[in-house]
Amino acid sequence: LSTIKIFQERINLEIEKFLQQNSGNPSELYDPINYTLRHGGKRMRPLLLLMGCDLFDGNIEDAIGPATGIEVFHNFTLLHDDIMDNAPLRRSEPTVHQKWGSNIAILSGDAMFVKACQQITKTREEHVVKVLNLFLETAVKVCEGQQFDMNFEKSSSITIDDYVEMISLKTAVLLAASLKMGAIIAGASEKDADNLYQFGKNIGIAFQLQDDILDVYGDNEKFGKRVGGDIVANKKTFLLLKAFELANKDQRVVLNKLLEGPVADEEKITLMTSLFNSLNIKEIASVETNAYYKKSMDCLGSIKTTGNNKKEQLASFAERLMIREI
């Protein structure tokens, strides 16, 4: 059995334990928590946390509480994100707000955030303050990123730099912090922990870029979310910003019309996608994704550890993440 498989099984077991302890009354509060966490997902953040710990020869059992906490936190953000994005589907099932209503999704989400904080503190005494502080700082950054994401929907002056900053906040820093928390728990040096953070941040930017590509070009079944959702919501993704940059006068008129509406959802998705196609946007976005992936590999390379094969494990995990085969 590979290390990754062992870690995944350990994470699944701990999440199962967590759910057994969170299945009580009122069921309206706890059912959505179980529904969300039992529908899986890739569980890459807890895995990154354990791998970050293992990279510096830490004890996985010291990291499993925080790892569970990170996954609970991530799932909480999805409950609220799906309200904000008006998303009907998540992991190929109805979203919590779709199934039970927004009030339920808000409150179950709140409870998950509190439970996540409790899990994060389940590590060795000497690391609790550092780990919890990093987590809390990161959680506020995610809120900032989510607010920028919503602000950008209504703005027409967003640059690609703005976009990269926004996705760093809403997505990448959580991957980065997961790895760094693992490193802290293992007692890694500040410098190594920071390099690992940078690795995570760049892989996180690449990951969100790819998520934005898949939102347009993904396979409905495999993606598990509504394809075209970002187009409908006027999300200022790399794809849209690049299209604006490359569009000729006529194409720009079409773009503005689609953004300003009114256009029916399906028509908007079809027309926007064909405009992207004529500008070769998918390929350009993939090149950008690869650039961040390469950057992440450089950061990984600069970390000093005895176990080279553990670095290779992280590298090959990142590679599989890029083809979404984890």
Sites of contact with ligand IPE (CB under 6 A): 41-42, 44, 77-78, 81, 85, 87, 91, 142, 146, 170-171, 208, 211, 225
The residue to which tokens 């409150």 are assigned: 107
Q: Judged by CB under 5 A, does residue 288 bind Mg ion?
A: no
Q: Judged by CB under 5 A, does residue 85 bind Mg ion?
A: yes
Q: Judged by CB under 5 A, does residue 162 bind Mg ion?
A: no
Q: What tokens were used for 76? A: 């909480």
Rounded Cα–Cα distance for residues 55 and 8 (Å)? 16
Task: For the CB of residue 311, give the shortest distance to Mg ion in the complex, in Å.
Answer: 29
Rounded Cα–Cα distance for residues 308 and 5 (Å)? 19
Task: Determine the distance from the C-alpha atom of residue 146 to the mean position of all C-alpha atoms in its chain, rounded to a whole number.
Answer: 12
**Quick one: which of 211, 213, 241, 292 contacts Mg ion (CB under 5 A)?**
211
* Burial group, residue 297, by CB count within 10 angstroms (0-12, 13-18, 19+): middle
CA triplet 200, 284, 44: central angle to 5 degrees?
25
What, of Mg ion, ligand IPE, none, does residue 54 touch, CB below 5 to 8 Å by kind? none
Q: Judged by CB under 5 A, does residue 192 bind Mg ion?
A: no
What, of ligand IPE, Mg ion, none, does residue 78 touch, CB below 5 to 8 Å by kind? ligand IPE
From the CB of residue 67, how many other CB atoms can be counted at a distance below 10 Å? 33
Site track 4-43 with Mg ion (rule: CB under 5 A), x = hit: ----------------------------------------
Site track 39-78 with Mg ion (rule: CB under 5 A), x = hit: ----------------------------------------
Residues 6+ apart with CB under 8 A from 223: 214, 215
Task: For the CB of residue 189, give the shortest distance to ligand IPE in the complex, in Å.
Answer: 29
Strands (E), the chain: 89-90, 93-94
Task: For the CB of residue 280, give the shortest distance to ligand IPE in the complex, in Å.
Answer: 22
Task: For the CB of residue 323, give the shortest distance to Mg ion in the complex, in Å.
Answer: 17
